[in-house]
Structure formats: structure tokens, C-alpha cells
Structure 1
């Protein structure tokens, strides 16, 4: 697999700056595990043929015949460039692929050069999460508490779909120091100001909304991984399991069997997000209406 990509570069089919197949594409096209596909790209990086570029994934290096520039300290390297490169790597190959050593190889610098910008991988991942959340924070606040909360939730869902590793980084029980994450909480709390809810309910409403979106989003990476590993979409996989379900369900799960017999339901992660968001905001509306009816 590495030889095929190497040959395409040598023949000029893939030119400097062109994207090369991602680990997920290699997995899908060759039917190998994601770990094997990641090793293919790692080998090409070690040879200096490819590098990671923020927003573009892995691309052909500018000088494919030159050796890697390990050990060099690039004065133009900034923390933002490092974070964006790491985010692009996580988007294409998963968060587990992000390491300071690999980023240093991709950027053509010594690993120690990265420590001028981050203390270690944990800090780098925190900066990646904070940068991603910045892209999800709405810029304008619409009128009405419901419109404001719905906009925030949709922006978060959009960014989670773009960065499938992100929901696995964010903790609800032990919040990290993420200034942009705090801005999301601030937005949600402000949305319920002046509608009659008490302080505790406003906190629960804000954090439950954020947790609802994140909870559904934790399935996005697993969904993509399963599709790569099996080569089947969710719908195709479900169809392949129908004979097993038909044998098992009628006796042990009669309600499941009865509902399934009435026809298919298009259950998707996007649909679950939409249903959950609507029902959650409906419940908030009930809380607000009850608060308005209470005397004084």
C-alpha cells in the first residue's frame, strides 16, 4: 500500500500539496485495519514523502525526494499552527494518532521544538478542544431563550461532526480549563435569564443541553470506525443482522418484534439528535410556563 502511494508520487500523479489517501480511505479501499493504514502513512512520513497540513489532512511534501528535516527548529512555528496541525491529524487518523513525536516529524522540526509551545500531549489536546469549541460558539444571539439554546446546540453538533474525537475529550463531571468551553456555558446560562427559572434550574438546563449534544456525538467516531472496519453502512449492517434478529426477537423481545413488523424506521444519529433536542427544549418550555404561573 505504501509502495503504491510512493509510486504515484514518483510518477507525478500526486504532486506537492496534493492530498494522499487518508487512513480511513486506505482502510476502506484495501480492507485492512485502521492501525495498519496508520502505519502506511507513518512510513511515508518517515521517508519525507508526505506531511500533515491543517485543514487538508496528509499531503505530498514540497520536496518528496528530500529526507525528513528532523532536528531543525522552525522559527515560524507557532502554537496556533501546531494546534491546527494536530487537529487535522486527529480528524484524519483519530486522536490516538496525535503525539508530539509524530507532529514534529510532520512539521519537520525537532520534538523539543514543540515544547516551546506546549508542555506535553495533555496540554496540546486541551488546546485542540478549546480551538474546536471556538468554531462552535455562535456569533450573534437571536431573540428568545429557545432560539438561543437551539442555535448553540446545532453549532455544537456541527463541530462534533467535523471533529469526531472532540466529544471524547470533554468531561462533564470534571470540566477542563477551556475558555471557549466556558463561553458555551455562559451562552446557555444567559439564554435562560429573566424567564422565571431559579438559579439551580438554570444551571441544570444549561449543562443538560450541553451533555445531551455531547452524549449523542460520542457515537459519531464509533459509527465511522465501524463503517471502515466492516465496509458496511449502518443500514447495510442492520440488514445483514436481520436473520439473527428475526430468530431472536419474537420470543424474547415481543415489543421490538411487533414494532419492527409494522415497517422500518429511519433511525440515524442526526435523527436522534433532532428528536432529543426538540423534546428537551419542549420540557424547558414547560418549566418556564410553570414558573410563570407560580405566584410572586
Structure 2
């Protein structure tokens, strides 16, 4: 008679799977509830990030959880009435064949796309080469056969993400329409991949081909209006900084919510007494007047700010761009 496997003898990732599965079965975590992040699991169970990633991947394969962009991993909409078949240890004989198949199917494109999925769901800080390998079901060192380091992987991720949107061959003739299309295209990409705005700065910009496609579009819109090269490039940098600068807030807020467990509104509510004290101190009369005019507080809307700022910038730049002698 086969002796049942003691839970304590199971691999660490299966003990984590069992623990989270039980929370779901007991109703502690319901459909749509966010399950612990990779980093939270690593801290709670005292395991490596790769082990935590493997546990979440197993839960996903069992259909218990699903990943939603910028929300993270949540309990799936419907959960089984009873727990699925328990894994046993040691693994069945078919496991090595499955792992070998994963190794054979491994490509640079799969590695990059998997890394993007992790960054989209958990943030760039949760990305690791081991985590990517665990998600793909391959040996920890396998991705290094295709990409030498995490930094190189991030560059490939950025280039791939920036390449998801392109521009029409029949470009708008009016420079302002072209700039608006270019800025909104970048904003769409940053919205889709909030971590993207965290890579590179104005002083140390990314040098990847697909980002250059967007730069070429913006520079082409400004070229031919008689601007000297420095002014033309300054305008390009200013417009890019507006888009990227606002987009940085997307990942910062997601990270803050994950680390504090508070939404933006909850965080502001917790600071209400301190804010009220500043308003009533009499030291900041204009601030008090403006804040007091809001019925339900100020609603920070990044999409609205992006459009408002873009219009203000273009309104201000129009006399500069159109005030020059056009180049034939």
C-alpha cells in the first residue's frame, strides 16, 4: 500500500499552492479577490522569487487564479467546488518529458513576451531571470542561452513593447495633427505597459529601434518649418517628457498600492486630518480657497491631464513652429 505523501515532504512551491488553494476553498479569497503577489508570497513563506512564481503559475494552470493587467493575480471568476487533483512528490515520470518539451520550445520571443507579462501584472521590480524561467517551466539558467542578463532582457522588452504600435503611411499633412497622433500613440503604449515609462531618462535615453520609430515620426512632423536643429530637438524632447513624465505616475501608483495595500482614495482619506490641518492653519490661503471649492475633493485624472497638457504645449509652440520661414 502506498504511503500518503506528507505535506511537509512536498516541494515548497506545492505547499504554497496548497495553502492558497485552501484559502480559496474556505472562502477567505473569493472570485476577483487579489491573491498575494510574488514578493508577498516570497516573504510570507520564506522562499525565493522563482519558487513563488512557480507556485502562482501552478495555481494559474489549475484554473484557480488568473492574471489581470495592472491588477495582478486574482481568484478566477469561478472556482471548483472541490480541490483539483493534488500533486504528489516525487513528480510523475511524465514531468521530465514535459520539461524537455518546454526547453525545446523555448525561443527568445517567448522569453521576452513572458517577461512583459510578468512586468505588466507585477511591475518591473518583480521581474527576474529565474522568475521568467519558472513561468516558462524551464531550467533556471535556460533563458541565459538567449539573453545574457536581466538588463539586456529589459531592453528587448522595451523594444518589443514600443513596436506594438506604428503609424499610417498616409501621414496627416498638418504638423499639429501628426504630433497629436504621435503623443497619443506613446501614451497608449505607456498605459498598456506602465513599467515602460520607468526605463531610461531624458539624460540617458533608451536607444532601441522601435522607440526611434516614434522619435522619427515626431521629428518628421516638425521638420521643414524653418526651425534650427537645436530648437527642433528641444521641442521633441519637451513633448516626449510630457508624455513619459505623466506615464511614470502609472507604475508609481501601482507600486504604492501593492506595497501599502491602500488604493489612491484610501490613502488620501487616511491623510485627510493632516490636509485639513494645513487648510485651517491660515498659512496657505490660496490653497485653502481652491481646495475648499471642490465638492468631493480633487480627482486626479491622468488621461485628462495628458490631453490638457498636450493642448497647452501645442498652443504655446504654434507661434514658434509656424512663425518660421518654411523650408522648401
Q: For the superposition of Structure 1 and Structure 2, which TM-score range results when normalised by the shorter chain?
A: 0.7 to 0.9
Say which of 242, 248, 252 aligns to 2:283.
252
1:61-140 map, 5 Å: 65=87, 67=91, 72=100, 74-140=103-169
Say which of 169, 190, 195 aligns to 2:199.
169
1:235-254 per-position Cα deviation (integer Å, ceiling 9, x unaligned): 44334433322221342222
Q: Does 1:217 align with 2:247?
A: yes
Which blocks of at least 5 consecutive residues in structure 1 are unaligned?
Answer: 12-19, 28-32
User: In the alignment, is the contact (CA less than 8 A) between 2:108 and 2:146 conserved in 1?
Assistant: yes
Distance 2:134 2:110 in 1: 14
1:152-163 map, 5 Å: 152-163=182-193
Say which of 253, 257, 260 aligns to 1:227.
257
Distance 1:150 1:197 in 2: 19
Distance 2:106 2:158 in 1: 20
Cα distance, 1:126 vs structure 2: 0.4
Label 1:283 to 1:136 Cα distance change in 2 as closer, same or farther (>3 A). farther
Alignment RMSD (CA, Å): 3.7
Q: For this pair of structures, how many residues does the alignment match?
A: 279
SS at match of 1:115: helix
User: In the alignment, is the contact (CA less than 8 A) between 1:54 and 1:85 conserved in 2?
Assistant: no
1:147-296 map, 5 Å: 147-249=177-279, 250-263=281-294, 264-292=297-325
Moved more, 120-129 or 46-55: 46-55
TM-score when normalising by structure 2: 0.72
Distance 1:163 1:83 in 2: 14
User: In the alignment, is the contact (CA less than 8 A) between 2:123 and 2:255 conserved in 1?
Assistant: no
User: In the alignment, is the contact (CA less than 8 A) between 2:17 and 2:58 conserved in 1?
Assistant: no
User: In the alignment, is the contact (CA less than 8 A) between 1:89 and 1:98 conserved in 2?
Assistant: yes
Partner of 1:43: 52
User: In the alignment, is the contact (CA less than 8 A) between 2:38 and 2:53 conserved in 1?
Assistant: no
TM-score when normalising by structure 1: 0.79
Distance 2:38 2:256 in 1: 10
User: In the alignment, is the contact (CA less than 8 A) between 2:191 and 2:247 conserved in 1?
Assistant: yes
Label 1:38 to 1:251 Cα distance change in 2 as closer, same or farther (>3 A). farther
Distance 2:86 2:168 in 1: 42
Which blocks of at least 5 consecutive residues in structure 2 are unaligned?
Answer: 1-15, 77-84
Distance 2:184 2:305 in 1: 13
1:220-259 per-position Cα deviation (integer Å, ceiling 9, x unaligned): 1121233344554434433443332222134222211121
